[in-house]
């Protein structure tokens, strides 16, 4: 197949991990006879420097036309001042909104070789296999008003948590559909004892649940969910929640795997590409890690696994997605690990190993 993939390397280690994933995608294309056209576009801090805009219009247009988008990371100390007029993170929020990718899927499944890398006890995390469905284009990150002003000679600020019924309904459907293909359990997380948006969330999710009689629905308050994620993480299957709760809980959940560096994400909306699949934005959940940027030691696994999710969800290439996932598994099993996981392999070595396993797996078939 022919596919166009818009690539947004971004800041810090972003370019290093995107380059690694592009090398893996090129290997997939060569081995399976596909043609992936991959072009880089600026986003985040580098785009502010060059174009005074964290998401230049031509970047958004290229992404809207592509079959899928691969993103590294944005941000860094250079652009971090609280008074900065523009922030790299605005680029990320705008691309998510601009692509309409309202559902952010973040799978969490610790690799057997890495069970000791987690600060949690092995018997608590051994059976963990969960996936977050985080609402990504609404809630308190987008609601209006969102501003600062001076009143009675002091500064005040407001952010607004807003949800409409349709925004909740569409993500609830996606969560239940996903659960139908897994262990058929949905945990919906809110703060319904305090927030009006959460009471609406709970009502709509309960209504949607009626369409999926085979799937069990559990409601949890977000504070309790934070506790249960540490106490009984293996009891979860699909967790669906609003934007900010999902942002916080997925960083917490990443510790079940020992390192954020391994975690992938797929952000999906309803827009379809030329292959009749959902357009998607694929990115690792880690940040731009400015402390190790340019050293060649960043862990590319989260981005490479995000590319595998892209093959699956936006290109419909399930076999290829599994081959990449297996090649990553095999490489980690061999103990080829970057320093964040206690190893000494650099980005290039681990990428090379993944490509080598990929080739071996294809020959074996
Ligand atoms: C994430 C990040 C972003 C978010 C930031 C960088 C805006 O933390 O993808 O989880 O809050 O969504
Ligand atoms: Mg986050």
Candidates 105, 146, 140; CA nearest to 238 is: 105
Average pLDDT per run of 10 along the chain, which is 365 residues long?
98 98 98 97 98 98 98 96 91 97 96 88 94 98 97 98 98 98 98 98 98 98 98 98 97 89 95 95 96 97 98 97 96 94 95 94 64
Which residues line ligand 1 at a C-beta cut-off of 6 Å? 75, 89, 92, 247, 285
Say which residues have a Cβ less than 8 Å from residue 204's Cβ, sequence separation at least 6. 165, 168, 169, 172
**Domain end (from 256, 281, 302):** 256
Task: Indicate left, alpha or beta for 262 from its phi (over 0: left) and psi (-120 to 50: alpha).
Answer: alpha
Q: Do 296 and 180 share a structural domain?
A: no
Is 346 among the domain residues?
Answer: yes
Q: Do 90 and 6 share a structural domain?
A: yes
Residue 226 lies in domain: 119-256
**Domain end (from 227, 256, 285):** 256
Q: Do 251 and 285 share a structural domain?
A: no
Is 34 among the domain residues?
Answer: yes
Give the torsion through C-alpha atoms of 322, 29, 287, 71, to 10 deg. Answer: -120
First to last CA, the chain: 20
Catalytic residues: 141, 191, 223, 247, 251
For residue 365, the model assigns a pLDDT of 55
Structurally, the chain folds into a number of domains equal to: 2
Ligand 1 pocket test: which of 45, 77, 89 has the largest number of ligand atoms within 8 Å of its C-beta? 89
For residue 82, the model assigns a pLDDT of 83
Q: What is the CATH number of the domain that holds 168?
A: 3.40.718.10
Q: Do 270 and 239 share a structural domain?
A: no
Q: Do 73 and 4 share a structural domain?
A: yes
For residue 360, the model assigns a pLDDT of 81
311 half-sphere exposure, CB direction, 13 A CA radius: 27
For residue 363, the model assigns a pLDDT of 61
For residue 125, the model assigns a pLDDT of 94
Assess whether the previous peptide bond of 145 is cis (omega < 30° from 0): yes
For residue 185, the model assigns a pLDDT of 98
Q: Do 187 and 123 share a structural domain?
A: yes
Candidates 75, 44, 3, 21; CA nearest to 284 is: 21
Task: State the ligand closest to the CA atom of 74.
Answer: 1
Q: Do 248 and 132 share a structural domain?
A: yes
Q: Do 100 and 25 share a structural domain?
A: yes
Q: What is the DSSP letter of 90?
A: H
């Amino acid at each position: 197949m022919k596919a166009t993939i818009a690539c947004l390397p971004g800041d810090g280690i972003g370019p290093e991990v995107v380059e690694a994933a592009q090398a893996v995608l090129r290997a997939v294309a060569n081995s399976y006879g596909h043609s992936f056209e991959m072009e880089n576009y600026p986003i985040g801090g580098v785009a502010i420097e060059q174009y005074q805009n964290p998401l230049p219009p031509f970047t958004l247009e290229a992404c809207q036309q592509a079959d899928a988008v691969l993103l590294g990371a944005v941000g860094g100390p250079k652009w971090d001042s609280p008074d900065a007029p523009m922030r790299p993170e605005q680029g990320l929020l705008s691309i998510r909104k601009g692509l309409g990718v309202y559902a952010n899927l973040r799978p969490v499944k610790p690799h057997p070789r890495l069970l000791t890398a987690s600060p949690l006890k092995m018997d608590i995390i051994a059976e963990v296999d969960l996936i977050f469905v985080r609402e990504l284009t609404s809630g308190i990150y987008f609601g209006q008003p969102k501003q600062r002003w001076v009143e009675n000679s002091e500064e005040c600020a407001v952010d607004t948590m807003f949800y409409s019924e349709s925004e909740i309904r569409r993500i609830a459907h996606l969560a239940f559909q996903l659960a139908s293909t897994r262990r058929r359990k949905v945990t919906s997380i809110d703060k319904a004892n305090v927030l009006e948006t959460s009471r609406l969330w709970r009502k709509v999710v309960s209504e949607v649940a009626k369409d999926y009689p085979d799937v069990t629905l559990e409601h949890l308050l977000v504070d309790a969910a934070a506790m249960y994620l540490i106490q009984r993480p293996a009891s979860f299957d699909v967790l669906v929640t609003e934007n900010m709760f999902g942002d916080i809980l997925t960083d917490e959940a990443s510790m079940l795997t020992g390192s954020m560096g391994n975690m992938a994400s797929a952000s999906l909306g309803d827009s379809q590409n030329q292959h009749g699949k959902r357009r998607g934005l694929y990115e690792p959940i880690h940040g731009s890690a400015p402390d190790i940027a340019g050293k060649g030691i960043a862990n590319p696994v989260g981005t490479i696994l995000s590319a595998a999710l892209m093959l699956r969800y936006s290109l419909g290439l399930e076999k290829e997605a599994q081959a990449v996932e297996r090649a990553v598994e095999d490489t980690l099993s061999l103990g080829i690990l970057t320093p964040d996981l206690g190893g000494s392999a650099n980005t290039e070595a681990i990428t090379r190993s993944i490509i080598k396993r990929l080739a071996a797996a294809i020959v074996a078939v």
